[in-house]
Amino acid sequence: MSELFGTFSDGTPVHRWTLERSGVRVRVLSYGGIVQSVEVPDRDGGTADVVLGFAGLDGYLEHPEPFLGALVGRYANRIGGAGFTLGGGVFTLTANDGPHTLHGGERGFDKRVWDVEPVEHGVRLTRVSPDGEEGFPGRLEVAATYTLQESGALRIAYEAVTDAPTVVNLTNHTYWNLAGSGDASGHELRLAASRYTPVGPDLIPAGVSQDVTGSRFDFRTARKVGSGYDHNMVLDKGVTGAAEEVAELHDPRSGRVLTVATTEPGLQLYTGDHLGEPFAPHDGIALETQHYPDSPNRPDFPTTELRPGEVFRSETVYGFSAR
């Protein structure tokens, strides 16, 4: 089911699509591929929206920086120095995070209106990112398919092809609050990640990945999330052809449980310390499945290069339950 959600000043419409299955209701916008809401039951059957979002288009336009629920690209996370070399060429990107590029630049995929068509139990979003958009090389054809599985799990599958060598790193930037409101820092998190990538003061990876043992980054056994995280967690499984479960987030108050399965090698844990108005710190927790930040400048990291004739594929599945 689709409906008009809002209109830009130039008359461009933004539509909202509602997906519903097995007691789960998800709303997706054509603007930014945004997951606007996810309604799921608690242990007593009471339903609440467990993601941060705005009721109208103006909210997203006035507060773009948290990237609420957005489809992020062409490169999720940061690229140091707003540039990289590839195939002997030097590419200068839009710097929108000090001297660095964050989440695709000034007008990344989160700030574009996508074409949307219905598919079985979901919607397929598509757009063409032209050669040179935000400085990235190659004409990139992108598709993101959002579907609700029989269990009620939300599956997001990404595909992309290019006509020239480029880099691609796509994710969804939903902030989760399984209580439906209030401070989410008391949620309990389990992560299948034995290492993480330390960062400098500007959040660009510094040095090699480090063992989480004995540190505040060790979530291999579930514990309260707390605060102070905006770090890439190195998933033990690495890159996989099929999505494997890597995380579980649990809210003891409501009993709601979110599981995350992915094909990606990393997960950016962000505890929402700097969400900004109208939200308070820690109102939501982002679990961004992706490749590592600054990979184009780090040959020791899993590659994010995509070349003509290849197909970029990535999949993440968000499962919901209560206990």
Q: Binding site for beta-D-galactose: what residues are annotated? A: 77-78, 173-175, 230
Our answer to whether residue 282 is catalytic in this structure is: no
Helix (H, G, I), strand (E, B) or coil at 58: helix
Radius of gyration for the chain, computed over Cα atoms and rounded to the nearest angstrom: 18
Residue with tokens 């020791």: 300
Q: Residue 65 contacts by C-beta under 8 Å, 6 or more apart in sequence?
A: 276
Residue 267 has phi, psi (to 5 degrees) of: -140, 120
Q: Are 258 and 149 in contact (CB under 8 A)?
A: no
Residue with tokens 């939501």: 284
Burial class (CB in 10 A: 0-12, 13-18, 19+), 64: middle
Alpha carbon 130 to chain centroid, angstroms: 22
C-alpha pair distances (Å), 20 with each of 10, 44, 177, 254 = 32, 20, 20, 21
Residue with tokens 């519903």: 20
Q: Which amino acid is at 44?
A: D
Active-site annotation holder among 173, 231, 250, 282? 173
Our answer to whether residue 117 is catalytic in this structure is: no
C-alpha pair distances (Å), 128 with each of 74, 76, 161 = 11, 17, 10
Active-site annotation holder among 133, 134, 264, 288? 288
11 torsion bin: left (phi>0), alpha (psi -120 to 50), beta (else): left
Q: How far apart are CA 193 and CA 290, in angstroms?
A: 14
Annotated binding-site residue numbers: 77-78, 173-175, 230
Give the residue among 222, 190, 188, 253 at the shortest CA–CA distance from 48: 253
Q: Which amino acid is at 319?
A: G
| Through-space distance between the first and last CA atoms of the chain, rounded to whole angstroms | 31
Length of the chain: 323
* Catalytic center residues: 173, 288
